[in-house]
């Protein structure tokens, strides 16, 4: 889609942090259109439980597109219980090859407490280095902050919250209204 066709929606900030045996996914609540904040309390981090298998997912991009992808991921997880990597790869393959899915504008961070992945519409299933993944408008700010904090005494949630606070201070498309989900341990 060309920039001139895109209505000016800006993403969000989502971060996934693994430290010890816990993984935290945190996301802000801001939805912006151009220079306007449309909503400050959106919930962009969700817990999925297909067949009793817990997965936490955070999304940046179009909400409707992300929900379509989360439904597909949930179906893949039901088909491959306990195999997040396989389900993620299957979703990425579908996303890359299906004409309907190719138009979806979103990115996902997913974790089952053991594995942590970023899934993109380009067919990528990326396992982040340093046990930290971040996506969205403020993703690079949150990533840099979390990398600086990973060797401190803060736990995964403390790192995620502090990194998101730093991103919210820098990125105008990110706010401090967080949804935080912890998994593992």
The whole-angstrom separation of Cα 167 and Cα 97 is: 34
Which of 12, 13, 111, 182 is flagged as catalytic?
A: 12
Is 174 considered catalytic here? no
- Catalytic residue numbers? 12
């Amino acid at each position: 889609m060309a920039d001139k066709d895109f209505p000016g929606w800006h993403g969000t900030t989502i971060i996934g942090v693994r430290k010890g045996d816990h993984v935290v996914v945190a996301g802000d609540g801001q939805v912006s259109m151009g220079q306007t904040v449309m909503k400050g309390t959106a919930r962009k981090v969700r817990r999925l439980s297909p067949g009793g298998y817990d997965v936490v997912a955070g999304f940046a991009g179009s909400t409707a597109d992300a929900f379509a992808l989360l439904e597909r991921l949930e179906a893949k997880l039901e088909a491959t219980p306990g195999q997040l990597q396989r389900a993620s790869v299957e979703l990425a393959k579908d996303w890359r090859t299906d004409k309907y899915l190719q138009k979806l504008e979103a990115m996902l961070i997913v974790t089952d407490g053991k594995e942590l992945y970023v899934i993109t519409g380009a067919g990528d299933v990326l396992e982040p280095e340093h046990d930290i993944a971040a996506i969205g408008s403020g993703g690079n700010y949150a990533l840099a902050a979390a990398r600086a904090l990973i060797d401190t005494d803060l736990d995964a949630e403390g790192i995620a919250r502090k990194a998101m606070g730093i991103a919210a201070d820098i990125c105008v498309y990110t706010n401090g209204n967080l949804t935080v989900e912890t998994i593992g341990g």
